[in-house]
Structure 1
Amino acid sequence: MTETRRIVVDTDTGIDDAHTLLYLAGRRDAEIVAVTSVFGNCVEEDAVRNIGYVNGLLGLDVPVARGAAEPLAGVARIAGYVHGKDGLGDLGYDRPLPEVTGESAAELLVRLAAEQPGELDLLALGPLTNLGEALRIDPDLLTRYRSVVLMGGSGPYAPPGTVLMVDANIANDPVAAAAVFAAPRAELVMVGVNVTGTTILHERAIAALRATDTPKARFAVAILDSYMDFYQNEWGRRIIPLHDPLAAGILLDRGFATAWADGPVNIMSDGFMSRARLMRTHDGLPPSFPYEPAPDTRVITAVDAPRFVADFVEVLTR
């Protein structure tokens, strides 16, 4: 019998975040126990409104807490040009503010972990600001979660001449990210753009979603257009990467990951953007400069993209 993972989701609820909530709710081995909001794909108020809308669509009644509206330092960069200004493609959904617990996202993350140590998994889909604030309350927070899986980071250093997608979640709050990667933990898994960018929801998969006449599938397809408008400029095709859903998939089924490396992760900046990097080159060697020691993070370096895409489509069309 498959074990059910009880998951707290921290999200900057844009299009792929919404798809992730749909995917988790459709998996028989997942239970969403709480959702917290953070800025990123949209402003925080839209993120929490979108949590309420998706929860309503799913009939999901779980605690919701509002989180950070800006990073621990610097200015928020909102990705409205990717997800639409409201985070769900600006389709005019009625999105009233949902009922919230009254505590901050950081306080909720700390409370749940203290009440149920070792029983919950934390899935972080946006900038890591709420986790950074929670670590200021409880520096051992990540040891109290069974696992912490985050969508962010860029993996090890890429082969020379290779260009990666922007590491947006890390770039939006490198200070909080540095605190997370330095903190003690039970298990921390980084699912970065080095692998999420290879996990493509292709035309045939999108057609399967379009052919499914259920409220969840209709919503999943409707919000795709803004996302595809952005990515068609990258690839000349109306397809998208499954960034956040892949992190959820790996939390539930580590078999979706076909290769990984364990080691310290540092936040590195080129003066314009920040990335979370495993301190290894593409061939497994240490970088040729000093770096900060940190506890091992499991960094995913390759995935079975076809199997995950097939599972994602099967769940959303079930």
Structure 2
Amino acid sequence: MNIITRRVIVDTDTGIDDALALLYLAAQAEVELVGVTAVYGNCVIDDSVRNIWYVLGLAGRGTTPIARGAAAPLKADPHIAHYVHGYDGLGDVLSVDDRPMPSAPTLLTQTAAEFLVDEARAHPGEIELLTLGPLTNVALALQLEPTLLTLFRSITIMGGSGPFPAPGISDMFDANIQNDADAARLVFAAPANRRLMVGVNATAQAITDEQDLVALHRSGTLTGEFAASILESYLDFYRLAWGRRVSPVHDGLAAALMLHPEWIAASVTGPANVTHDGFTTRGRIMQTAEGRAVPWPIEPVGDTIAVTAVHPSFVPAFIESLIRGGAL
């Protein structure tokens, strides 16, 4: 008999790394997926919804409630990352001839924002919120319930860039904050019980490579082989960044650190603001790499914990979970 100890809602734009995070969570016997809410980003909203439904079904969590969310940012047109995640959001794996396309899922009548508010109000302090895409749904929910993040046990955000890097060091582009800076500002400013930023500064330290891909291909499990099939194109995309077929475990790391804070090897805590340098928008802890406050006025907001180093135990455990598959 499985003992549920962690109740989780996932808000996701259901690209490749999002799907891997859902597979990881589905493999954890202690996790109850209270619901999954869809948002645009890695793919258009309708594909995001379909991908959630497909992946949950594959992982044995097909009865999980799904709510359709925002199709665009609060104040802008959507930027869809087809060049990273393919046109279906999953490396175009769902469109190959030998993999049947799923039919339309049954959705909740509530919007994603309404679902977030209703569940948080009904179960204060019990549910953890994991965000894997642009923060638009959460911002819309905050407009309905300004104390939303105090009703959740915690919010873990895959997004942001941690503190400022040392001079001469750059970090990866963060699409989730970039896609809706207005929403990100609202989420970082809202009162919260615990707000954890798993940014690209941290996910760049958690790398899957071709050896992991081989293990997934040889797994003989539905979830392992599916994970391998979608990870293939992700490794191809990142080869142009590092000259080799590797990829960071963005969303999977956020899911894992929500459940296993002992895998956070180092972190900093402070106010997070949204910055724009003329090219990219980032969520930053307002500290230098040396831990000093930045020398300009900042927006006074509550603290966010930002991961700065990751324990090496994470990646092997993550791959094992993808191979093992659904726990229920």
Q: What is the TM-score normalised by the length of structure 1? A: 0.97
Structure 1 residue 55: Cα displacement: 1.5
Q: Does 1:55 align with 2:56?
A: yes
Q: Does 1:101 align with 2:114?
A: no
Is the Cα contact below 8 Å between 2:4 and 2:32 reproduced in 1? no
Structure 1 residue 238: Cα displacement: 1.3
User: Identity over the aligned pairs, expressed in percent?
Assistant: 51
Q: In structure 1, what is the equivalent of residue 6 of structure 2? A: 5
Q: In structure 2, what is the equivalent of residue 215 of structure 1? A: 222
For structure 2, the 5+ residue unaligned runs are none
Distance in 2 separating the partners of 1:273 and 1:166? 7
Is the Cα contact below 8 Å between 2:177 and 2:282 reproduced in 1? yes
Q: In structure 2, what is the equivalent of residue 174 of structure 1? A: 181
Structure 1 residue 200: Cα displacement: 0.1
For structure 1, the 5+ residue unaligned runs are none
Is the Cα contact below 8 Å between 1:146 and 1:187 reproduced in 2? yes
Q: In structure 2, what is the equivalent of residue 307 of structure 1? A: 313
Is the Cα contact below 8 Å between 2:213 and 2:231 reproduced in 1? no
Q: Does 1:40 align with 2:47?
A: no
Alignment of 1:289-300 (within 5 A): 289-300=296-307
Cα displacement string for residues 106-147 of structure 1 (whole angstroms, at most 9, x for unaligned residues)? 000000001111010000000000000000000000000001
Is the Cα contact below 8 Å between 1:44 and 1:68 reproduced in 2? yes
Q: In structure 2, what is the equivalent of residue 267 of structure 1? A: 274
Cα gap change, 1:187 to 1:2, in 2 (>3 Å): farther
Is the Cα contact below 8 Å between 1:29 and 1:252 reproduced in 2? no
Cα displacement string for residues 16-38 of structure 1 (whole angstroms, at most 9, x for unaligned residues)? 00000100011123221100000
The residue identity in structure 1 corresponding to 2:298 is Y
Q: Secondary structure at the match of 2:202?
A: helix
Structure 1 residue 2: Cα displacement: 8.4
Alignment of 1:78-157 (within 5 A): 78-91=80-93, 92=95, 93=99, 94-157=101-164
Q: In structure 1, what is the equivalent of residue 193 of structure 2? A: 186
Is the Cα contact below 8 Å between 1:52 and 1:96 reproduced in 2? no
Which of the residues 204, 215, 220 maps onto 2:211? 204
Q: In structure 2, what is the equivalent of residue 69 of structure 1? A: 71
Q: What is the TM-score normalised by the length of structure 2? A: 0.94
Q: Secondary structure at the match of 1:162?
A: coil
Structure 1 residue 239: Cα displacement: 1.4
Distance in 1 separating the partners of 2:167 and 2:35? 42
RMSD, matched Cα: 1.3
Q: Secondary structure at the match of 1:264?
A: strand
Structure 1 residue 317: Cα displacement: 1.9
Q: Secondary structure at the match of 1:317?
A: helix
Distance in 1 separating the partners of 2:314 and 2:281? 28
Structure 1 residue 3: Cα displacement: 6.8
Q: In structure 2, what is the equivalent of residue 31 of structure 1? A: 32
Q: Secondary structure at the match of 1:10?
A: strand
Q: In structure 1, what is the equivalent of residue 232 of structure 2? A: 225
Cα displacement string for residues 70-102 of structure 1 (whole angstroms, at most 9, x for unaligned residues)? 000122111110110110111215133210011
Cα displacement string for residues 138-157 of structure 1 (whole angstroms, at most 9, x for unaligned residues)? 00000000010010000000
Cα gap change, 1:241 to 1:114, in 2 (>3 Å): same
